[in-house]
Amino acid sequence: MAMASPFPSLDHAISIAKDIWFNKVDVIGWLEAFAAHPQIGESPSSHTTSAQWSKGEQSTALATATDAGLQELYDWNARYRQKFGHVFLICASGRSAAEILGELKNRYSNRPIVELEIASQEQMKITELRLRKLFSTQTKADSGSSQYSSAVASKAEKERVGVIGQHLTATLEGLPAKAPKVQARTRPPITTHVLDVSKGSPAAGIEVRLEMWKGSRPCPSFGETDMGRWVLEGSSTTDRDGRSGQIMSMVDALSPGVYRISFNTGKYNPGGFFPYVSIVFEIKETQTLEHFHVPLLLSPFSFSTYRGS
């Protein structure tokens, strides 16, 4: 966000924030953001701006909660964290304790992958709310008022953007104003990382293999015996952050075709349902210069994936 500033309007800031959150931040980053939130019903001990915002956003819930209700919230929060591995996240602004408790109970039955997506949406609502606060605190005059000249309005706009910039760049003074353009690859064109959603943490030590289809047909068919038609491109083991590292050679352009990435999940979790997981995907002629990130969200009895950036 700091690299993309200054923002000419609130809508522009929100649009950039959504793009970064959903398209550039990975699941590990999501969990890091979740961990910064206090538990619902719990007053934050810190006096940072973020902590005070959280306190204000939970004010309705705290004001409407009985002692018994707070205890029930505490108990359900503990159950939720044990199941999903992260704090229950909801945009609490204006919600009563009973509303939040009801939503917590409803979401508790979700599968981890579904709940992770819902929590990320709620985090974005909180981010949008806080961006609105940053902008609104500096907006003193009605834009349609004839009491202010264009020069004064321009000065107010600069001050407002300046305050937002201070919030965003407080810890990034040494960074350049804009991200440099990348002229060549700085990472392999195909990467992956694995998140153990049952623990809410990266899955380290999983063996990963990347293969490319070299059969007589351009693409393998569903149900076809394909022994000996996959050629190994590279292999690695996930590190402490769940990332595969350099799983293939650093090439400027990928060869178009069908690839298969496989994870030795049986060795990682011998008691799980999957002895291994393979994901097959195709790279088109027009995509050979792109980067493909194929994360795996894993639990003992389910898995999910998507194409990241």
- In order, the DSSP letters of 48-77 are SHHHHHHHHHTHHHHHH--HHHHHHHHHHH
Confidence at residue 229, expressed as pLDDT on a 0 to 100 scale = 83
Q: Does 203 or 56 have the greater pLDDT score? A: 203
C-alpha span between 131 and 277 (Å, rounded):
40
Q: Does 41 or 164 have the greater pLDDT score? A: 41
Confidence at residue 178, expressed as pLDDT on a 0 to 100 scale = 46
Average model confidence (pLDDT) across the chain: 78
What percentage of the chain exceeds 90 in pLDDT? Answer: 17
pLDDT, mean of residues 52-70: 68
pLDDT, mean of residues 44-64: 62
Whether the predicted pLDDT of 308 surpasses 70 = no
Q: Among the listed ranges 51-65, 72-86, 113-127, 169-183, which one has the minimum average pLDDT value?
A: 169-183
Confidence at residue 62, expressed as pLDDT on a 0 to 100 scale = 64
What percentage of the chain exceeds 70 in pLDDT? Answer: 73
pLDDT digits (tens, 9 = 90+) for 101-150: 889 999 999 888 888 889 988 999 999 888 888 887 655 434 444 444 44
3-state secondary structure of 236: strand
* C-alpha dist (Å) from residue 191 to 45, 57, 107, 151: 39, 38, 32, 51
Estimate the share of the chain in helix, then strand, then coil, as percent rounded to the nearest 5.
40, 15, 45
Confidence at residue 100, expressed as pLDDT on a 0 to 100 scale = 86
pLDDT digits (tens, 9 = 90+) for 213-244: 887 777 777 766 655 588 999 999 998 888 88
C-alpha span between 158 and 168 (Å, rounded):
15
Respond yes or no: is residue 37 known to be catalytic: yes
Q: 61 near 40, Cβ under 8 Å?
A: yes
Confidence at residue 50, expressed as pLDDT on a 0 to 100 scale = 63
* C-alpha dist (Å) from residue 214 to 165, 233, 277, 284, 290: 52, 11, 20, 15, 21
* C-alpha dist (Å) from residue 37 to 9, 201, 220, 246, 288: 27, 17, 46, 34, 40
Q: Does 13 or 51 have the greater pLDDT score? A: 13
Nearest residue to 254 (alpha-carbon basis) of 281, 234, 283: 283
The set of residues, in sequence order, having a beta carbon less than 8 Å from that of 243 and lying 6+ positions away, is 191, 192, 193, 202
Confidence at residue 159, expressed as pLDDT on a 0 to 100 scale = 53
**Which one of 37, 167, 193, 291 is the catalytic residue?**
37
Q: Residue 285 gets which letter from DSSP?
A: G
pLDDT, mean of residues 251-269: 91
Q: Phi/psi of residue 61, each to 5°?
A: -60, -45
Confidence at residue 158, expressed as pLDDT on a 0 to 100 scale = 52
C-alpha span between 246 and 269 (Å, rounded):
23
pLDDT, mean of residues 139-165: 48
At 70, is the pLDDT very low, low, confident or very high (cuts 50, 70, 90)? confident
| Two tokens, residue 217 | 């047909």
